[in-house]
């Protein structure tokens, strides 16, 4: 039995807030106290927990750089009798290069042993580490603590195992270097955001390396919503057989300990139901965005359709139904069924509701602008969109007057092809479904009802033919292909970054593929998307901070 087998380790999966250094340090100290009470030898925290990993250009701020080490002054004395590995930042004393290192501070029994700096700096999807941090290609990765050689790596430095990945982004593997140097225990601190399939991927990756190297691995990940980026946690410890012996609950803070030789599998945080994980991510995203921006209450425009119904259900779970106001704003084209369905939803959820008709204001503006009233969809887009913008004015006024967070309800399918109204239904402080395809919206709505064991979202709303109700007898599929045909194309384009020919090879109609992609990439639609509120991200290459395209361009895709 090695010394590492006798070690007791604590996962400290905590929810940090960017810039709340005092609050973050307080959470760190509380977790250290909990680990000590558990009799733990080692406690491990995620990446940059002192300052908040997604602090962006605050990492270029002179005050942040000059005082980067101050949080450790409070943490180091608290480690008497225990070892702590804490994700933080430290200044780069070399006048050349970025001003900070992203690092792990290794602290034993009240003494700072040293820093392990991050080597591999990601700059894909939502990541932009090279903008802020200097890489260190040869940091100290190995520490001997209580007779055990512990290898330490920071996030991306663990994610480049050539025996696990078919394709790698880098030609070096810092984690493998630590193992070759004699690490008897490997610790990886992470800020790995949630996207579909990511939880299982991490479990497979950690288990594979642990079994192949015959070394226990402690993999600790960040938890919490930060603007649109949601970290799911799901931290884990694998023994040298590759068995998961401690699995943190996903989407929740988690501070628990385990003996490395426990030999007892733990699968609490592993979910086989991706829809359940998507729902949890959306709930956490809303809850943390509201809480961290000091909103206690939300407001939603409720149309009688599935998108706003789902957002109302998510907000009710995130904030409590008593803190959610659903505003119904019927126009001359709103169906009686939509109003009744909205009322039933509000009753099922237990939310507050209010009715603010827009027909009078709509008539006034039609006369003032000499617009004709729409008689069919697409006949008078300015008049159609004016209804959406009137609703946006009402919702923003309520948000402003009552201090409520306005939640935008548009889904990814609509936003991708521009089927939305700028300064109307795109208004809001947070786009809840902006990365959720329409077919996924239906799936999550059904899942909410299954999870509740009752009909929270009326089935008639889920099964209703989608309509913006901005003109008589208007339906989405009058203007768009059916979502069942459009969404697979959008999924392959956004999430797998496939070319048109590759999308067509997957069995999609060539004409439809080019039609949809040219809608997505049209400058007018990019113009709309770049003015969206922050979007909760649940996929790779989502609409939002991870996708960068110019508004002004003349690129068009032509079918050969």
The end-to-end CA distance of the chain, in Å, is: 65
Contact 255, 34 (CB under 8 A): yes
Phi-psi region of 12 (alpha: psi -120 to 50; beta: other; left: phi over 0): beta
Neighbours of 482 (CB within 10 A): 12
What is the greatest pairwise CA distance in the chain?
86
Contact 302, 346 (CB under 8 A): yes
Contact 244, 270 (CB under 8 A): yes
Phi, psi torsion values for 362, nearest 5 degrees: -65, -45
The candidate with the shortest Cα–Cα distance to 179, out of 201, 198, 200, 160, is 160
CA distance 268 to 257: 14
Neighbours of 168 (CB within 10 A): 13
Instruction: Write out the E strands in 261-417.
Output: 298-301, 324-328, 352-355, 405-408
- Tell me which residues are annotated as active site: 47, 118, 155
Question: What residues contact residue 165 under an 8 Å CB cut-off, 6+ apart?
Answer: none
- Burial (0-12, 13-18, 19+ Cβ within 10 Å), 336: exposed
Contact 203, 235 (CB under 8 A): no
Instruction: Write out the E strands in 360-489.
Output: 405-408, 430-431
Contact 417, 520 (CB under 8 A): yes
Residue for token pair 């068995």? 243
Instruction: Write out the E strands in 205-279.
Output: 217-221, 223-226, 229-232, 236-238, 244-247, 254-259
The candidate with the shortest Cα–Cα distance to 7, out of 255, 257, 221, is 257
The angle formed by the CA atoms of residues 2, 146 and 161, to the nearest 5 degrees, is 60
């Amino acid at each position: 039995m090695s010394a590492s087998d006798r070690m007791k380790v604590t996962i400290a999966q905590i929810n940090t807030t960017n810039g709340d250094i005092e609050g973050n340090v307080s959470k760190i100290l509380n977790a250290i106290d909990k680990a000590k009470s558990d009799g733990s030898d080692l406690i491990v925290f995620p990446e940059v927990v002192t300052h908040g990993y997604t602090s962006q250009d605050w990492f270029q701020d002179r005050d942040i750089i000059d005082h980067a080490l101050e949080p450790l002054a409070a943490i180091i004395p608290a480690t008497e009798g225990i070892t702590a590995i804490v994700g933080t930042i430290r200044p780069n004393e070399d006048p050349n290069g970025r001003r900070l290192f992203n690092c792990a501070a290794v602290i034993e029994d009240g003494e700072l042993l040293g820093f392990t700096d991050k080597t591999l700096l990601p700059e894909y999807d939502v990541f932009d580490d090279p903008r802020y941090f200097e890489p260190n290609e040869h940091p100290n990765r190995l520490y001997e603590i209580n007779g055990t050689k512990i290898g330490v790596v920071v996030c991306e430095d663990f994610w480049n195992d050539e025996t696990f990945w078919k394709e790698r982004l880098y030609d070096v593997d810092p984690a493998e270097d630590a193992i070759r140097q004699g690490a008897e225990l490997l610790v990886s601190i992470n800020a790995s955001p949630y996207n579909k399939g990511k939880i299982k991927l991490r479990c497979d990756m950690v288990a594979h390396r642990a079994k192949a190297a015959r070394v226990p691995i402690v993999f600790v990940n960040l938890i919490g919503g930060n603007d649109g980026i949601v970290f799911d946690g799901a931290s884990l410890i694998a023994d040298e057989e590759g068995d998961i012996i401690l699995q943190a609950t996903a989407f929740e803070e988690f501070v628990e300990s385990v003996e490395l030789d426990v030999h007892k599998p733990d699968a609490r945080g592993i979910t086989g139901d991706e829809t359940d994980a998507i729902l949890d991510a959306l709930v956490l995203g809303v809850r943390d965005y509201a809480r961290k921006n000091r909103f206690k209450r939300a407001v939603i425009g409720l149309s009688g359709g599935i998108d706003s119904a789902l957002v109302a259900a998510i907000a009710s779970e995130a904030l409590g139904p008593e803190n959610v106001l659903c505003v119904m704003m019927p126009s001359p084209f709103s169906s009686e069924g939509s109003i009744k369905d909205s009322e039933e939803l509000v009753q099922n959820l237990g939310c507050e509701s209010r009715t603010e008709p827009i027909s009078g204001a709509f008539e006034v503006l039609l006369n003032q602008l000499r617009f004709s009233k729409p008689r069919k969809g697409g006949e008078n887009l300015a008049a159609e969109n004016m209804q959406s913008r009137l609703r946006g004015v009402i919702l923003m006024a309520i948000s402003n007057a009552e201090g409520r967070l306005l939640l935008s309800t548009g889904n990814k399918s609509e936003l991708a092809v521009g089927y939305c109204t700028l300064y109307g239904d795109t208004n809001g402080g947070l786009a809840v479904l902006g990365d959720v395809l329409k077919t996924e919206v239906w799936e999550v709505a059904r899942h909410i009802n299954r999870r509740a064991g009752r009909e929270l979202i009326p089935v008639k709303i889920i099964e209703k033919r989608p309509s913006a109700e901005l003109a008589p007898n208007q339906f989405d599929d009058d203007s768009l292909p059916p979502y069942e045909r459009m969404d697979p194309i959008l999924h392959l384009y956004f999430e797998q970054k496939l070319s048109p020919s590759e999308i067509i090879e997957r069995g999609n109609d060539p004409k439809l593929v080019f039609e949809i992609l040219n809608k997505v990439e049209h400058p007018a639609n990019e113009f709309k998307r770049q003015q969206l509120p922050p979007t909760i991200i649940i996929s790779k290459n989502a609409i939002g901070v991870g996708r960068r395209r110019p508004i002004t361009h003349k690129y068009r895709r032509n079918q050969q």
